[in-house]
Amino acid sequence: MREMLLGGDLDVLTGDYLAELTMLILGRERMRDPGLGYARTFLRQLEEGLGLAQERGVRIVANAGGLNPAGLADAVRKLATRVGVPVRVAHVEGDELIGRGDWGEGVVAANAYLGGAGITACLRAGADVVVTGRVADAALVSGPAAAHYGWAADDWDALAGAVVAGHVLECGTQATGGNYAFFREHDVRHPGFPVAEIERDGSSVITKHPGTGGAVTVGTVTAQLLYETAGSRYPGPDVTARIDSVRTAQAGRDRVRITDVRGEPPPPDLKVGLSRIGGWRNEVVFVLTGLDIDAKAALVRDQMDAAVAAGGRRPAELRWTLARTDHPDAAVQEEASALLRLVARDPDPEKVGRAVSAPAIELALASVPGFHLTAPPGKGSVYGVFSAARTAQGSVSHTAVLPDGSRIAVPPPPHFQALDDLPEPALPEPLPAGPTRRAPLGAVAGARSGDKGGDANVGVWARSDDAWRWLAHELTVDRFRQLLPDAADLPVARHVLPRLRALNFVVEGLLGQGVASQARFDPQAKAVGEWLRARYLEIPQILLMGEPL
């Protein structure tokens, strides 16, 4: 916050503090203390940031309210009094649905994703600080933009443009070189945070403060546009943005212009995020070193399976994975070792506690040669489950609580539109046949992957028109499954985005029951895109000329 406030001119500083896992953490926190449930990090940042923002005339909008936006608003007022900075504080509520409806057993947080209209109302009423609960991430940008320009609720194109800008900003430095496939091309040791300059028509320029690290390029912006999206339509509570209409262009150093964003009325219902306690989980990682790795893994599995089943206390789920990180004739011991991972799950904590940990320790002198673990096994811990439901737009009490304490009911959008399927756009002409070379996909394409509940998305984009002509025809669903065997038996959808020279794949169920369930080694699918880029296939030689491998 300090870096952004001191680094250059701003009208509004936004902050996205919530994620699916965060809501579970806040839900468990609120169970222990009903007065909590918000992101206390925000208050620590405001210790200094509140005065800096007032000096510079910057308003602050953040979803740090989590499950208790009213509580955070009160805490901000107390902080303002303590640091001697008088500010007008407002908040948005109505997303909380935990007591409204039957959401199933064990739910600790049930929150609708609200739009930006409540934020707009608070800012129009003169608020200096606006805190919200669960709103769509991009609403933190579209709400202030609508307040500044006086957009109507059916200014679909303008709202969609601001939503796209908000989506680029929502993950911070992911838009300025962080987590970027071609990170070696830029100095990303300390990338600056992105800034959106939004115009009256909703078009924008993505940039960053002068002198900060990282880079803003068509590539870094494209990567973020593909992140955690799916097809041509990006639905939100206020508007559906057409990702397939987006045009990007370099408009100077560290400046990328986004134009032509089309908007449509939003769907008639809102997404509801449900976070629940899924049960108890324990994990043990056995280090297998040297020769006969497969035989060693089989012995450890047999011994552990028998031990945890003794006395009828076998956990409901035992999952084994063997990562062959070992190399033959290794000069470094770690390089001679493979990792055998056991994950146990059960509703009963006793079945994943000592019932798993004790046998793992007791095998130390009675199993494979060189037996050791990456860490002492623990007692097990609670894991969460995320799922999504839907509720009608008009069924929530979206409310703006203004600085003077008055409450304004925020109406739903004036029109709705179902998310009908769109025809797949035409593919470019294939690249002419020619000599090929076996090389990694990442030599000619970038990728960015992420999570949406139990599903994963992998966006892949080409860096040239010729590479796009090849990629669009080569990277089919079948080829994708071949390159990523984890997806071989799962539903995979491919979406074509020609204006971005990109393909977006959605893999259903890859993440089990969501990030909090830790269903796989990479529980949020953050590295799936890099795994895909590291896979080898036959690539036209002409595309590899001058490309670093």
- pLDDT tens, 354-385? 999 999 999 999 999 999 999 998 999 988 88
**C-alpha–C-alpha distance, residues 287 and 337, integer Å:** 6
Taken in order 284, 285, 286, 292, the sign of the CA dihedral is positive
Q: Are 446 and 223 in contact (CB under 8 A)?
A: yes
User: Residue 313: pLDDT band by 50, 70, 90 thresholds?
Assistant: confident
Strand 399-401, strand 89-93: pairing: antiparallel
- Closest by CA to 227, choosing from 519, 506, 521, 462, is 506
Residues sharing a CB contact under 8 Å with residue 50, sequence separation 6 or more, in sequence order: 60, 76, 79, 80, 83, 85, 87, 129
The domain defined by 278-384 carries CATH number 1.25.40: no
Instruction: Express each pLDDT in 6-25 by its tens digit.
Output: 999 999 999 999 988 899 89
Instruction: Express each pLDDT in 203-236 by its tens digit.
Output: 999 999 999 999 999 999 999 999 999 889 999 9
For residue 549, the model assigns a pLDDT of 39
User: Residue 548: pLDDT band by 50, 70, 90 thresholds?
Assistant: very low
Question: To the nearest whole percent, how much of the chain has pLDDT over 90?
Answer: 88
Assess whether pLDDT exceeds 80 at residue 518: no
Question: To the nearest whole percent, how much of the chain has pLDDT over 70?
Answer: 99
At 417 the three-state DSSP class reads: coil
Instruction: Express each pLDDT in 144-186 by its tens digit.
Output: 999 999 999 999 999 999 999 999 999 999 999 999 999 999 9
Domain boundaries, the chain: 155-267, 278-384, 436-544
pTM of the shown model: 0.93
Assess whether pLDDT exceeds 80 at residue 322: yes
For residue 521, the model assigns a pLDDT of 83
Give me the mean pLDDT over the 125-145 stretch: 98
- Closest by CA to 114, choosing from 131, 137, 98, is 137
Assess whether pLDDT exceeds 50 at residue 409: yes
